[in-house]
């Protein structure tokens, strides 16, 4: 029982630290703030290709979180990167990965694509 409590406590502490760190490295933007800046930035959808094909923000590039490590070089470090996923979790993880590799100007859409009300493109 004690071991279980220690494990649960460690998981909670790790989650809190990760959350605080993530808030320091990536700026969470409302849709209005996101819309105001994404055209002058690298817009990256980190969802899987089937999710992207079902609908994505017009002008977005699809680099799934599962491929980010090997495709990171496609992104420039000297320009802002606007990330989004379905609900905000994967884009936060993507920002952490990018930050570790020296990317600093990172933003993500609060609430993710499911909250987006702007223009959407779908694959036919």
Domain count, the chain: 1
Q: Is residue 105 part of a domain?
A: yes
- Which one of 60, 85, 98, 109 is the catalytic residue? 85
CA atoms within 13 A on the CB side of 82: 23
Number of other residues whose CB lies within 10 A of the CB of residue 92? 21
Rg, Å, the chain Cα set: 16
Q: Is residue 97 part of a domain?
A: yes
For residue 31 the two structure tokens come to 């849709």
Percent with pLDDT over 70 in the chain: 95
Q: Is residue 107 part of a domain?
A: yes
Q: Which domain holds residue 48?
A: 26-123
Q: Is residue 17 part of a domain?
A: no
Q: What is the CATH number of the domain that holds 104?
A: 3.40.250.10
Q: Is residue 21 part of a domain?
A: no
Highest mean pLDDT among 10-14, 15-19, 110-114: 110-114
Contacts of 21 (CB under 8 A, 6+ apart): 96
85 is catalytic: yes
pLDDT tens digits along 63-96: 999 999 999 999 999 999 999 999 988 999 999 9
Q: Is residue 78 part of a domain?
A: yes
């Amino acid at each position: 029982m004690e071991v279980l409590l220690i494990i649960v406590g460690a998981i909670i502490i790790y989650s809190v630290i990760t959350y605080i760190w993530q808030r320091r490295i990536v700026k969470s933007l409302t849709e209005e703030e996101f819309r105001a800046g994404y055209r002058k930035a690298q817009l990256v959808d980190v969802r899987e290709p089937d999710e992207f094909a079902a609908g994505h923000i017009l002008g977005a590039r699809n680099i799934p979180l599962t491929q980010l490590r090997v495709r990171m070089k496609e992104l420039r470090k000297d320009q802002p990167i606007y990330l989004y996923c379905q609900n905000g979790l994967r884009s936060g993880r993507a920002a952490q990965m990018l930050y570790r590799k020296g990317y600093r100007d990172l933003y993500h859409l609060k609430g993710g694509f499911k909250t987006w009300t702007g223009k959407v493109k779908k694959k036919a």
